[in-house]
Structure 1
Amino acid sequence: MKRISVLIISVIIVCFSVISASAVDYKCDVETVSNAVYLENLNSGTVVYEKASDQRSYPASTTKIMTFIVTAENVGDLDQTSVTIKQDVIDGLDPESTVMGLSTHVGEQVSVRDLLYGLMLPSGNDAALVLADYVGGGISGFAEKMNAKAAELGCTDTHFANPHGLYDQNHYTTARDMALIAKHAMTIPGFMEICNTVYYTPNGFNTLHNTNYMLDPDAEGGAYYYQYTKGIKTGYLDEAGKCLVTSSDKDGDKYLCVCLGAAFSYDENVNYAMKDTAKLYGWAYENLGIQTIYSPADSLASVDVKYVRNGRVLNVVPEKDITALLPNNYDNNQLKVEVNCPEQVEAPVTKGDVIGTVSVKYEDLDLGVTNIVASEDIERDISPLEVFVTEHLTLILIVAAALVLIIVLIIILASAGKRRKARRRSRARKGQRYRD
């Protein structure tokens, strides 16, 4: 095997406020107020902006994303399953606590789906307690399920103490962990439909309004509205600041953004978590895109072909498009391409046969490895014997000459032997005559 390498390298040193290890410098110039931020392109799984994403933070009501997960994964039918509202379950909530209004429905049954709407839209702490009691037998039992799920999802610095997110020093997460939780929630049927709803009226309740003003052009005079926003959950505590987890979708280009710990004062009354999120989405859609680095039409290398005439070579191409999330004005000179394939292949070759692999990097971002394949069919037009003779002609001539030499020597030696025998016989006859 011979390694064929095509290297196109240049180095650019850029001053940048937020740099992630082993990632492209996307040159984000957005100044964020939130203490911890995580922005990921969901199409490629690429993290394009991080700020203290592994810093321990209080999640406030973004906790309810995990409450939704645990509930949905433990209740078989959200519509047909109803829960009786118990007074002792919702007792003790602060009068200023955000609720869906269950206190006026004690003794009644409410579907789990309606409770989930009440959990996610007005951020109902009463709905969180009712669901925790039904699914986990109470706060502690439900929190155990939440923490088990967090561990299962790969969260490394998350611990839940309750289902609603009210302050507890043992209730914390990170922006990165919250992104893992949100991405899993987005795969659950009904989750995005519920958290992306602006208004919803459960049977017998007042209309519920989503606290995520990025979804509603009429909320707060449209100050926070961003048309591509999809869900997900707001949060606020004095100890946590403004928190927000959202996704966005612009023509199929999808992002997930987590902002935790944005400072807030009632005097200023500005939700900087929403402001940060809108600015980050705007920057990403304006500056980044999925770029096609190579396509199956691009020849990456040529290899010799055995058992064909006229020194024919085979062009090898990517098996599929090689794409990556890169700046729209990315520099080709910063690509590093490494093609690995044999120096020679044997005919016959069929178009699409895997010949080797190609790996591509841009700056420090590994864009992955894909197969490279034959670009055409090539038939064999030389027999193996002919190839052998052609390739080993010199050796064959040497062997033939050696055989001829050996034969000549054998003949010479044989002739010499016959002469010696003849002389011995001649001497023997002469000696016999003398004796007679």
Structure 2
Amino acid sequence: MAEAGIVMDMDSGAILYGQNIHLPYYPASITKILTALIVLENCNLQDTVTFSTTAVNQVEADSGNKISVVAGDELSVEDCLYSLLLVSCNQAANALAEHTAGSIPAFVDMMNEKLVELGCQESHFENPSGLNNDNQYVSAYDMALIAQAAYDNDTLVEISSSTTHKIAPTTQNPDGFTIRGEHRLCVTEDPSSPYYYPEAVAGKTGYLIKAGNTLVTYAVKDNRRLVSVILKGQPRQYFVDGKALLEFGFRSFQDYTVADYESRYVTGNETINLDKGSFQASDLMIDPDSVITLPNGATFEDADISLGALPEISPDNAVALLTYSYNDRTIGTAYLLAKDGVTIDGDDPDTETAPSDTDASNTAASVATASNAEKPQRPHKNISVAGVLITMLIVLLALGMIGLVSWFIYSKKKEARLLAERRERRRQRLKRSGDEEEFERLLNEYKNKKK
């Protein structure tokens, strides 16, 4: 009944069903999922958040104050996140944004930067709460990507899956108070209710007049993880729609761990010529975490496979990318990896490793020589024990400095590489809908309407 919806397999990224998944819609409070993810990536749960006058008052007049905070109130990041995700407190969204970034506009910049990192190209945010703004919109596809990243965060799942939480005392609630979750699929315990769905683990509701009812639901069943998104839904029906998408996904599809089934390119003595060099098949392996999703009745052998060049950013030991499709739709990808000890063309052993002991010693000796050159030179026979100790100390200090600098550079490069790999994997998911040209047409149409 909703205008737009999607159900995505969390592990393969395969879209199992979609309707208007590339059209932009107002997100309302499901925006807070992205807000929570950014906060968790940048703050400690026990940090103290102070509610400013701006945080309390920069909301729409009729949007309420779910936890009755006033300017000057202090709560932990954890309490604010529970208030954000369980009862959709807009003041908590503002306060968390200020605490994380220093100001709400600076936090909004972080939100849009995160969209780029996740591979979202169909969305834009203007505030951390989801309240009305003509330039705040999201597609069902992008919201699924956001949810995919969010529910990979264990702390976010733990908070969002709670049915109740006791908030610490505040000015207007000196004894503290208990809040209760609003996502009916996650809290309903009556099996006779149309909202009863024990597989639902976590999620977020949203509502604005312009947005209609919006909903994100994360569910787990038989070790499979799905996420559904509803945009522009109808009252009460939107829970039923979200549940129906998840039931369809669990009922009609199954996951395959690629490494358990794929033998091509990784067995035998066949020579495989790739951009990264020539390899024996037995020298290669499949990324053990890669999954593809197929409809019931299909087998792994029914999936089409293509061996392609690596994306610009990929794991260090990757030599190619395997893309799987079924009925011309992408159902998952897997990196073809070189096993440990196998040489890859273009490897630069000095790129992300510390200098060898010999190099470090030579560099240290150079530093020591340069340092000693400033001192009056004495005949070798007059070198004292103190002089030897000083020289040894200089060498040791130089070695320590070199080691520290090398470790720092290595850590930064590794951190940057891992972040780049995550971004590329998420960017690849953007192509899995196989509908980029249609998206461009629909987005241009939407923009023309707004003009």
Equivalent residue number for residue 246 of structure 1: 217
CA distance, structure 2, for counterparts of residue 92 and residue 333 of structure 1: 56
The code of the aligned residue for 2:165 comes to: Y
Helix, strand or coil for the counterpart of 1:190?
A: helix
Alpha-carbon distance between aligned partners in 1 of 2:187 and 2:153, rounded to the nearest angstrom? 24
* Structure with greater helix share of residues: 2
Q: Distance in 2 between matches of 1:93 and 1:338?
A: 51
Matched, 1:258 2:229: yes
SS at match of 2:225: strand
Say whether the 8 Å CA contact 1:100–1:127 is kept in structure 2: no
3-state DSSP of counterpart to 2:2: coil
Residue 135 of structure 2 is aligned to residue 170 of structure 1: yes
| Superposed counterparts of 1:108-187, under 5 Å | 108-187=73-152
Q: Once the 2 structures are TM-superposed, how far is the Cα of residue 36 of structure 1 from its aligned partner?
A: 1.6
Distance in 1 between the 2:109 and 2:5 partners?
Answer: 27
2:161 is equivalent to residue 190 of structure 1: no
Structure 1 residues 50 and 303: CA distance shift in structure 2, 3 A: same
Label 1:236 to 1:299 Cα distance change in 2 as closer, same or farther (>3 A).
Answer: closer
CA distance in 2 between partners of 1:294 and 1:84 (Å): 49
Give how far 1:324 is off. Answer: 3.6
The 5 A counterparts of 1:21-60 are: 33-60=1-28
Q: SS of the counterpart of 1:143? A: helix
- Matched residue, 2:66: 100
In the other structure, the counterpart of 2:45 is 78
Aligned-residue offset at 1:257? 1.0
Cα deviation per residue 1:139-186 (whole Å; 9 max; x = unaligned)?
A: 322212211222222211221111111111011111111122222222
Aligned mate of 2:56, from 57, 69, 90: 90
Aligned to 1:216: 187
Give the partner amino acid of 1:186: Y
Deviation at 1:200, TM superposition (A): 0.7
State the match for 2:433 in structure 1.
none
**Structure 1 residues 105-153: Cα deviation after superposition (integer angstroms, max 9, x where no partner):** 5433210110011011000011112122322333322212211222222
Q: TM-score, normalised by structure 2?
A: 0.59
Q: Does 1:207 align with 2:178?
A: yes
5+ residue gaps, structure 2, are 170-175, 271-281, 308-319, 338-451
Alpha carbons of structure 1 residues 361 and 131: separation in structure 2 relative to 1, 3 Å: closer
Match of 2:249 among 264, 268, 284: 284
Tell me which structure has the larger Cα radius of gyration.
1
CA distance in 2 between counterparts of 1:163 and 1:357 reads: 36
Matches within 5 A, 1:309-348: 324-330=292-298
What is the DSSP-based 3-state SS (H/G/I as helix, E as strand, rest coil) of the residue aligned with 1:259? strand
Mapping of residues 400-415 of structure 1, within 5 Å: none
Structure 1 residue aligned with 2:327, among 349, 363, 372? 363
Residues 233 and 246 of structure 1 are in contact (CA less than 8 Å); yes or no, is this contact kept in structure 2? yes
Number of the residue aligned with 2:355: none
> How far is the alpha carbon of 1:224 from its aligned partner?
1.4
CA contact (8 A) 1:99 1:127 kept: no
Instruction: Name structure 1 gaps, 5 residues minimum.
Output: 1-32, 265-269, 305-315, 340-355, 373-436
Mapped to 2, the partners of 1:359 and 1:152 lie a distance apart of 21
Any conservation in 1 of the 2:321–2:333 contact (CA below 8 Å)?
Answer: no
Query: Aligned residue for 1:232?
Result: 203
1:217 aligned partner, one-letter code: T
- Please give the alpha-carbon distance, in whole angstroms, between the structure 1 residues aligned to 2:192 and 2:11: 32
* TM-score normalized by the length of structure 1: 0.61
Change (3 A) 1:220 1:234: farther
Equivalent-residue separation in structure 2 for 1:357 and 1:154 (angstroms): 18
1:50 CA drift (Å): 1.2
Q: What is the aligned-residue identity percentage?
A: 28
Tell me how far apart the structure 1 counterparts of residues 23 and 232 of structure 2 sit (CA, whole Å).
Answer: 10
Choose 234-243 or 179-188, whichever is displaced more. 179-188
Determine the C-alpha separation between the residues in 2 that align with 1:171 and 1:297: 43
How far the C-alpha of 1:319 sits from its partner, in A, is: 6.4
Contact kept, 8 Å, 2:3 with 2:232, in 1: the verdict is yes
Rate the CA distance shift 1:319–1:224 in 2: closer, same or farther, 3 A.
same
Cα distance, 1:280 vs. partner?
1.3
Contact in 2 for aligned 1:129/1:139 (Cα 8 Å)? yes
Provide the rounded CA distance (Å) in 2 between the counterparts of 1:261 and 1:120: 20
- TM-superposed CA distance for 1:360, in Å, is 6.6
Deviation by residue 1:310-342 (Cα, 9 ceiling, x = unmatched): xxxxxx9x9679974222222789555799xxx
Which segment is superposed worse, 197-206 or 167-176?
197-206
The structure-2 alpha-carbon separation of the partners of 1:261 and 1:334, relative to structure 1 and needing over 3 Å to count, comes to same
RMSD of Structure 2 on Structure 1 (CA): 3.8
**In structure 2, do the counterparts of structure 1 residues 188 and 358 end up closer, same or farther at CA, with 3 Å as the change threshold?**
closer
Query: What residue is the counterpart of 1:430 in the other structure?
Result: none
